[in-house]
């Protein structure tokens, strides 16, 4: 067996034997579905300025521009489908007694694939939230007809996502840290490990005794906390690591 094969075999055995698995995903898992990443070669933050589009100040300054950008992303995402990587995580969830999928992605593709125990820590692009009274609702219109207004108080609605400079809901973060404390295996997939708090999850899980597995195109800051890293496309690696189970489409 070559080194690559041995690493694969080890990762597969560890995952097979785990009773409690937590997975963290980032933009890389949706890349093969056609959703752009943020920091790669064609990453969104190469062509767009986060401070003009993804901050509360940007929205106060120019809500039209921010909504224009989100309308563009909503259209793009509406034309995509989950890929084999997303579907493998559905199979993984169904095969484990304890499982949590923590995603930084706002595209909703994990739920569309069929994942159930999903923590969308950066929100969801298909929700809108009132900028005054905080009431949140689903809105799947592509494009939105004009600037969306809150049906309760008539103030401007904003995308239901977390922007730079904003904190994540504390109840969500404490649920994630609890899951990290209890898991046997923590697997991080397709994230650059640059944005906190998600960037701290691998180290946290390792401290609690979990086996840390990384799947990514290239090494990241998470690699030094990983017991094992597999480099390549998530849509190719995950189906090889996770046996398909009946009822889950293969993509
Ligand atoms: P990034 O764009 O920072 O990183 C994507 C990672 O996925 C990189 O390390 C790539 O090498 C890897 N990658 C790309 N294609 C892949 C593939 N097919 N298979 C496996 N890996 C692949 O995205 P995130 O880490 O998700 O925040 O970024 C974190 C946060 O930064 C996002 O949630 C967003 C952004 O600003 C908010 O919007 C709040």
Q: Is 103 helix (H, G, I), strand (E, B) or coil?
A: strand
Lowest mean per-residue pLDDT among 46-55, 151-160, 210-219: 46-55
| pLDDT band, very low/low/confident/very high, at 2 (cuts 50, 70, 90) | confident
pLDDT, residue 45, reads 87
| Residues forming a β-bridge with 21 | 99, 185
Please answer whether residues 137 and 145 qualify as being in contact, where contact means their C-beta atoms are separated by less than 8 angstroms: no
Count the neighbouring beta carbons within 10 Å of the beta carbon of residue 128. Answer: 25
Mean pLDDT within 163-184: 96
Lowest mean per-residue pLDDT among 24-38, 175-189, 233-247: 233-247
Closest CA to 33 of 89, 104, 84: 84
Pocket of ligand 1, candidates 23, 25, 26, 66: which has the most ligand atoms within 8 Å of its Cβ, to mutate? 26
| pLDDT band, very low/low/confident/very high, at 246 (cuts 50, 70, 90) | low
Count the neighbouring beta carbons within 10 Å of the beta carbon of residue 238. Answer: 27
Give pLDDT tens digits for 60-103: 999 999 999 999 999 999 999 999 999 999 999 999 999 999 99
> Which DSSP state fits 167?
P
Q: Which region, left, alpha or beta, applies to residue 230 given φ > 0 means left and ψ of -120 to 50 means alpha?
A: beta
pLDDT, residue 247, reads 64
Q: Is 25 helix (H, G, I), strand (E, B) or coil?
A: strand
Angstrom distance (rounded) from CA 25 to CA 96 = 18
> Does the pLDDT of residue 1 top 90, yes or no?
no
pLDDT, residue 51, reads 84
Q: Is 122 a catalytic residue?
A: yes
Angstrom distance (rounded) from CA 139 to CA 127 = 6
Query: How much is the pTM?
Result: 0.96
Q: Which one of 86, 110, 122, 225 is the catalytic residue? A: 122
User: How far does residue 188's CA lie from ligand 1's centre (Å)?
Assistant: 11
Mean pLDDT within 113-123: 98
Give pLDDT tens digits for 101-110: 999 999 999 9
| pLDDT band, very low/low/confident/very high, at 245 (cuts 50, 70, 90) | low
**What residue ranges in 131-175 does DSSP mark as E strands?**
136-138, 157-161
> Does the pLDDT of residue 185 top 90, yes or no?
yes
| pLDDT band, very low/low/confident/very high, at 251 (cuts 50, 70, 90) | low
């Amino acid at each position: 067996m070559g080194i690559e094969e041995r690493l694969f075999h080890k990762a597969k055995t560890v995952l097979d034997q785990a009773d409690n698995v937590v997975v963290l995903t980032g933009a890389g898992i949706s890349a093969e579905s056609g959703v752009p990443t943020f920091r790669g070669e064609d990453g969104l933050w190469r062509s767009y300025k986060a401070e003009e589009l993804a901050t509360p100040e940007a929205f106060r300054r120019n809500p039209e521009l921010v909504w224009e950008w989100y309308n563009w992303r909503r259209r793009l995402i509406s034309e995509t489908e989950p890929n084999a990587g997303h579907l493998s995580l559905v199979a993984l969830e169904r095969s484990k007694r304890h499982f949590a999928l923590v995603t930084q992605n706002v595209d909703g593709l994990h739920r569309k694939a069929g994942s159930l125990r999903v923590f969308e820590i950066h929100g969801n692009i298909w929700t809108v939230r009132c900028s005054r009274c905080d009431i949140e609702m689903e809105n799947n219109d592509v494009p939105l007809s004009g600037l969306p207004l809150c049906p309760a108080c008539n103030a401007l609605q904003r995308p239901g996502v977390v922007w730079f400079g904003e904190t994540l809901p504390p109840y969500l973060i404490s649920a994630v840290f609890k899951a990290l404390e209890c898991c046997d295996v923590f697997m991080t997939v397709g994230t650059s490990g640059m944005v906190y708090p998600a960037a701290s999850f691998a180290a946290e899980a390792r401290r609690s005794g979990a086996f840390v597995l990384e799947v990514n195109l290239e090494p990241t800051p998470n690699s030094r906390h990983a017991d094992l890293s597999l480099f390549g496309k998530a849509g190719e690696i995950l189906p090889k690591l996770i046996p398909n189970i009946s009822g889950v489409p293969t993509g």
